[in-house]
Structure 1
Amino acid sequence: MPSMDQVGQIREKIDIVSYISEFITLKKAGRNFKANCPFHNEKSPSFVVSPERQIWHCFGCAKGGDCFSFLMEYDHLEFPEALRILGKKVGIEIREMPGVPSYSQKEKIYKINKESAKFYNYILTKHVIGKKALNYLIEKRKMSPALIETYQIGFSPTVGNALANYLINKKKHSIKDLLDAGIIFERNGRVFDFFKGRIMFPLEDQHANIAAFSGRVLEDSNSSNSGSPKYINTRDTIAYHKGSQFFGLNAAKEEIKSREQAILVEGEFDVISSFKEGIKNVVAVKGTALTENQVALLARFTPKVTLCLDKDNAGFEAVKRSLASLEKKELLTTVIIPNGKDPDEAIKNDPYAFKKAVKSEIGVYDYLLSQTFAKNNKNDVFGKRKITDELLPMFAQITNEVIKEHYLKELSREIDTSYDSLQKEVEKIQTGKERDKILFPKKEKRNRREIMEEYLTALIIQAEDLGNVLEKDLEDLPKYDFFILAYKKIIENLIKYAKKEKKIDIKNFAKNLVKELTSIFDTCYLLPLPKFGNKEKYSIEIKKIIKELIEIYARERIIEIKELIKENENKKDEEKLEVLKKEFLELITFLPKSSKL
């Protein structure tokens, strides 16, 4: 079982800013970093990471924690699996835990796939069986040995169980595990390789785990796989689901993040040819249309997606199918139309022209307008009907109202139809759909007092001149009775800590808080604060908030006391009445003189 020391060692070795940056784009915001939350849809960034405290918190969905909790939430893992992954990342081997296998089933599949990829690559590059495939890649596809290694390309032998024999006899894997990985199949008590006579492309996830394979027939004529499809993929397993991965994502993710753009193509050779020409932010969609899972994955790395399309009608249809998912994540979407059947062919014909096309991207809705106008008569009533039937359902999906209005006006001008009539048609479409789905339950509405208590706690614990704040700015705080006791306890503990310690170390203070207070402390510590310019203004803000809280409390308590006085007058409890009246008079002093009671 892993010791607390091991957990602590892993946590100390991982810089949370660098680690989370492997998944999403973080931007500096004062002493913290911010991003759009990867766990819920939002327009303004509310996901905050603290390098000082090595924690993260989202003020939109209220999730937060450390490096372990981030990975668990991001990849839907249990703690033992997250522990192993992060331990492996920093070179700490986690010992077995009672009741938990030494390798999770998903990890077994990754291991099997990694060994299979090495086997396929060896067959392609070193074995006589792969010579024909290697010649095809080098001579016809113009691939260098370096590119073959970058993408770990291989070849699956036509022999029915070559890989199965290797994995079972040499690598000592069980038949069950190989079946679970989807790398073999069983028939009449015998096992056979799932992929035979195909060029093999490993499909890596964003952590560089090989989740699955895509196998392409060696020749376009399908002569070696008569009657079988050009491409086949690993069937669904616990490590891979169709529509969840891209080819080339792990190799492209850093370039995607730095360029803030992902270029999407259809096939593996499109990715490789682009990479060869220095265009490295390219990934291939595995399927006929982008899925919501794939779009969510891309949104973690970039705010912009560029679709590289075929010139024919298939490209137009591909955009239509993908648009809904892209709009849900509010990704800026553009289109490239290369001069060729596909990017691979376009690059072979004229690499310079392809690079020019990449720089000449157009907005996706401009593309849809031009394509729709090209195949319909704008001046004919039936043509107008076809155009609006095609475009309005797509315009109805646009989440940004400014962009939606822009394209409706553009359409209005082109087909000589009023904007209002087009808007009414869009509204009809929208009312017929389920709109504005709530992905997460709304938090219970907080009153002003609770919000201000959180703000005050944040002001105190984030203060640069904390010692001075504790000594001089909180003198009126004892007059206030906190609504949320957790904030009171944090502030009281901090005051006690400051009196005991010569130097106030907020990180050390947080370590010693009881577990129940830690998450509340973290939330306050990461709460974005306005800029005050200097210490004097910061101090004024703290005193102002304390004064306002005291007034709110006083008003609420005065209402309660009035009711209690009425009750006790009826009971004729003179002693109780005296105490209540004394408190009432004291509370009045907390209010401005002009206040009405």
Structure 2
Amino acid sequence: MLNEIEEIKNKLDIVEVIGQYVKLQKAGANYKALCPFHKEKTPSFIVSPARQIWHCFGCSTGGDIFAFIMKVENVDFGEALKILARKAGVTLKFEDPVLRSRKQKLINICEVASSFFQDNLKKNKEAVDYLHRRGVGGETIEEFQLGFAPDEWRMLVTFLLSKGFQLNDIIDSGLAIHREDLSEINQQMTNRKLLVNNCYDRFRSRIMFPINDSSGNLVGFSGRIFQGKLPLKTIKNIEETGKYVNSPQTLIFDKSKILYGFYRAREYFHKQHSALIVEGQMDLLASWQANIRNVVATLGTALTSYHFTLLKKYISELILSLDTDEAGQKAMERIIEPALANGFEVKVLILPEGKDLADYLLNPVNKSNLADLINKAKPIMEFYFDRALQLGDKDTLDGKKAIVSYFLPKIKKLNNALDKAFWLEKLSQHLAIERQFLEDELNKVSPEGFNQVVDNNEPVVLQIPTASRIDLLAERLVAFWVKNPELQELYLPYYKYFPKEYTDICQLLMKVEKAESLEPNQLKLAGFDDNLISKINQLFLRAEYEMGNLESYGVDLVEEIKEGLKNLKKEVIKKEMAEIELMMKSAEENHNTSKIQELMVKFKELSQELIS
């Protein structure tokens, strides 16, 4: 395993890999970028090609190429290893059993089926023309591997059998249906051979959309019914069969855990910090063609807790764009409530012409305006207010009741008093009802749905533990020392003021005359601990980042170090004096005269040291 890890590191350049996720800019010997893991305006994310490491000085996270993939892809080390192995063209020995596993066999069947569907779409001009009329271009058809399932009972089954797959595996993949319950066949008639005539293709006369899981594996399909000029042979009643049919639950496919387009969109989540949620495949493809890439689609179901957990790892804002009919509006609300409960900021995309997204984007002018519309997406309380006004006539008593009964619970959930006051006043003015009456009604309301109180104006902020001023000063100063060992004479008088966690590094630096001696390979040959080497690498990166800032502002490095050492000394002594004061108070309460005298002497010594 270690040899494979080293081989991957040797074959991949960290700059090239990270550059696939963020836009890097050259900054001296390093590269910098806006951090993909937190919002910032000034780049604090640094990548070192020399040391093959990265670090963000805004959110204090960093590491090697594996640490980056684990964080950006939100996977464990084993999955990161697989991802990087594929990028490097390295074969992992432990993957062989997986490739022979049951899941992999089903994935293989889906991949072969996808090729079959793609080939059949190319032969069906009517289906291709339909996609073009719906605004789906040839490049998008190719990129998303759209296909067509022929209007035949067993054409796919026969094809897959010819490729060497077993009938029971084809059925388990969800691509074929057996006339009898397969579980009963397996349990009661284990010796009975499955007959092809007892099976038929699940997808017939449908435009096919392959579905990938979050790792990019092709695990299922969604098929949209399509009828050309000729009547269908295998489907009697189109209404009964459903406009869209998804793969059933299988060993590899669970629609409650999959979002269409997620695998492609996730690399754009970090750039946009938001996800556009659309209702179906056509809406997603239209958005993608309008250069909106942070977009995913539901598979005919509401967002599940698994979906929220998955999205939360990448973004904190959801922008909803569902159908504008009543069903779409209700579906929107079913997403909003749990989304807010899961800590998302939620907005709603309102299209000017009241059309569904795919239809709206058929107009080329609208395509160019979509990004601007997304930026102006309506905050959730505005959406609720507008929706409330659609529920009744504000000039009638029943209409006022309908509006108030819908909107007051939404106000109740706000935990910001100013927000509550604002919306109560707006509702009061719009309905011509005294605000006091609305407040009385509000006090009677129990918030519907989830119990968590939500403030829609304040974003969810990741709380990062703050280091002490001593720790911050010490780390910065040691970083300068690591980068400039020749300046050790400046540090020696202040050695005792550095925190204990820097003892090993400081002792090493006292023996080093030049920075080249601190190169990772040199330290490894010298037998130093990997943790120490990693810390020194991080300090090198910190020093280059800080020195770049000093250079930008014309600050002299030596003077900055001298001032920093003085401040470190002052902070350490002041902390010790504060601790002595507390001990003196305790001694006074216990009438311990000798202890008080001892502490007073120590306090006086520190006072003199402070001004020396």
**What is the TM-score with the length of structure 2 in the denominator?**
0.71
2:340 paired with 1:342:
no
Distance of aligned partners of 1:586 and 1:305 in 2 relative to their CA distance in 1, 3 Å threshold: closer
SS at match of 2:254: coil
Residue of structure 2 in register with 1:216 after alignment: 224
Q: How does 1:313-462 map to 2 (within 5 A)?
A: 313-327=326-340, 328-331=342-345, 333-337=347-351, 339=353, 342-348=356-362, 350-352=363-365, 359-360=372-373, 361-364=376-379, 365-378=381-394, 382-395=398-411, 407=423, 409-415=425-431, 416-418=433-435, 421=439, 425=443, 429=447, 433-434=451-452, 448=468, 452-453=470-471, 455-461=473-479
Q: How many Å separate the matches in 1 of 2:451 and 2:56?
A: 30
Shift of 1:73: 5.7
Q: Distance in 2 between the 1:164 and 1:125 partners? A: 20
Q: For the structure 1 residues 518 and 326, does the alpha-carbon distance in structure 2 shift closer, same or farther, using more than 3 Å as the test?
A: farther
Q: Is the 8 A contact 2:256 2:301 kept in 1?
A: no
Change (3 A) 1:417 1:473: farther
Quick check: 2:45–2:58 contact (8 Å CA) kept in 1?
A: no
Give the match for residue 156 of structure 1: 149
2:203 is the alignment partner of 1:195: yes
Q: 1:488 matched to which residue of 2?
A: 503
Residue in structure 2 matched with residue 573 of structure 1 by the alignment: none
Report the alpha carbon displacement of residue 394 of structure 1 after superposing the two structures with TM.
Answer: 3.8
Deviation at 1:313, TM superposition (A): 1.7
Length-normalised TM-score, structure 1 = 0.72
Query: What secondary structure sits across from 1:488 in the alignment?
Result: helix
SS of the residue aligned with 2:323? Answer: coil
1:475 aligns with 2:493: yes
Q: Take 2:300 and 2:449, find their aligned partners in 1: how far apart are those partners? A: 31
Unpaired stretches in structure 1, ≥5 consecutive residues: 571-576
Aligned to 1:231: 244
- For the 8 Å contact 1:369–1:391, the answer to whether it is kept is yes
Deviation, 1:214, is 0.8
Q: Give the whole-Å Cα distance in 2 for the aligned partners of 1:427 and 1:260.
A: 34
1:266 counterpart residue number: 279
CA contact (8 A) 1:311 1:340 kept: yes
Does the 8 A contact of 1:266 with 1:285 survive in 2?
yes
C-alpha distance in 2, partners of 1:269/1:379? 40
How has the CA–CA distance of structure 1 residues 519 and 320 changed in structure 2, closer, same or farther, with 3 Å as cutoff?
Answer: farther
1:86-110 CA distance string (max 9 Å, x none): 1111222223479x54566665554
Q: SS at the partner of 2:302?
A: coil
Q: Return the alpha-carbon distance in structure 2 between the equivalents of residues 310 and 319 of structure 1.
A: 9
For residues 366-416 of structure 1, give each alpha carbon's deviation from its aligned partner in whole angstroms, at most 9, with x where no partner exists. 333223213323355654443243234445556888767655553344344
Pick one of 106, 121, 125 that aligns with 1:124.
Answer: 121
Deviations 1:476-534 (A, max 9, x none): 22266x4xx433223333443x34x4636566678675245467667777889897752
Any conservation in 2 of the 1:35–1:45 contact (CA below 8 Å)? Answer: no
Shift of 1:202: 1.0
- Show the counterpart of 1:8: 6
Q: Is the Cα–Cα contact under 8 Å of residues 117 and 147 in structure 2 kept in the other structure?
A: yes
Change (3 A) 1:69 1:107: farther
Q: Distance in 1 between matches of 2:40 and 2:134?
A: 45
Q: Residues 255 and 521 from structure 1, CA distance in 2 versus in 1: closer, same or farther, beyond 3 angstroms? A: closer
Contact 1:326 1:333 in 2 (8 A): no
* Gaps in structure 2 of 5+ consecutive residues: 186-192
Deviation at 1:152, TM superposition (A): 0.8
Write the distance in 2 (CA, Å) between the matches of 1:355 and 1:541: 52
Aligned pairs for 1:170-319 (under 5 A) are 170=163, 172-173=164-165, 178=170, 181-184=173-176, 187=182, 188=185, 190=194, 193-205=201-213, 208-219=216-227, 224-225=234-235, 226=237, 227-237=240-250, 239-249=252-262, 262-275=275-288, 282-294=295-307, 305-319=318-332
Q: Distance in 2 between matches of 1:175 and 1:413?
A: 68
Q: 1:321 to 1:5 in 2, by over 3 A?
A: same
Distance 1:28 1:355, change over 3 A: same
Per-residue Cα deviation, 1:531-590 (whole angstroms, up to 9, x for no partner): 7752223531233123322443466479889999xx9x99xxxxxx9xxx9999577523
Counterpart of 1:216 in 2: which secondary structure? strand
Aligned to 1:540: 563
Q: State the partner residue of 1:514.
A: 529
Amino acid of the residue matched to residue 456 of structure 1?
Answer: A
Q: 1:258 to 1:82 in 2, by over 3 A?
A: closer
1:89 maps to amino acid? K
Q: Which position in structure 2 is the counterpart of 1:66?
A: 64
Q: Which amino acid aligns with 2:118?
A: N
Partner of 1:89: 87
CA apart distance, 1:460: 1.7
Shift of 1:204: 3.2
How far apart, in 2, do the equivalents of 1:594 and 1:255 lie?
52
Query: 2:149 corresponds to which letter in structure 1?
Result: S
What is the letter of the counterpart of residue 489 of structure 1? D
CA displacement 1:170-192 (0-9 Å, x = unmatched): 2x456676566444455345365
Give the distance between the partners of 2:281 and 2:21, measured in 1 at CA.
23
Q: Secondary structure at the match of 1:232?
A: strand
CA–CA distance in 2 between the matches of 1:405 and 1:492? 61
Once the two structures are superposed, residues 389-447 of structure 1 have per-residue CA deviations (whole angstroms, 9 ceiling, x without a partner) of 3234445556888767655553344344539938965996399824589x99999x899
- 1-structure distance, mates of 2:243, 2:539: 56
* Alignment check: 8 A CA contact 1:123 1:154 kept: yes
Partners of 1:308 and 1:336 within 8 A in 2:
yes
| Corresponding residue pairs, total | 563
Residues 270, 548 of structure 1: alpha-carbon distance in 2 compared, 3 angstrom cutoff: closer
SS at match of 2:255: coil
Cα distance between partner residues in 2 of 1:428 and 1:436: 14
Q: Secondary structure of 1:377's partner? A: coil
Residues 239/469 of structure 1: CA separation in 2 closer, same or farther (3 Å cut): farther
SS at match of 2:493: coil
Cα distance in 2 for residues equivalent to 1:214 and 1:207: 18
The match for 1:51 is 47
Name the SS for the 1:235 alignment partner: coil
Alpha-carbon spacing, 1:14–1:408, altered in 2? closer, same or farther (3 Å): farther
- Quote the RMSD (CA, aligned, Å): 5.3
Take 2:348 and 2:585, find their aligned partners in 1: how far apart are those partners?
Answer: 65
CA contact (8 A) 1:335 1:367 kept: no
Distance 2:601 2:289 in 1: 81
Name the aligned partner's letter for residue 537 of structure 1. E
Written as runs of structure 1 = structure 2, the 5 A alignment for 1:515-594 is 515-517=530-532, 533=553, 534=555, 535=557, 536-553=559-576, 556=579, 588-592=604-608
- Contact 1:339/1:354 (8 A) holds in 2: no
Residues 408 and 558 (structure 1), Cα distance of their counterparts in 2 relative to 1, 3 Å cut: closer
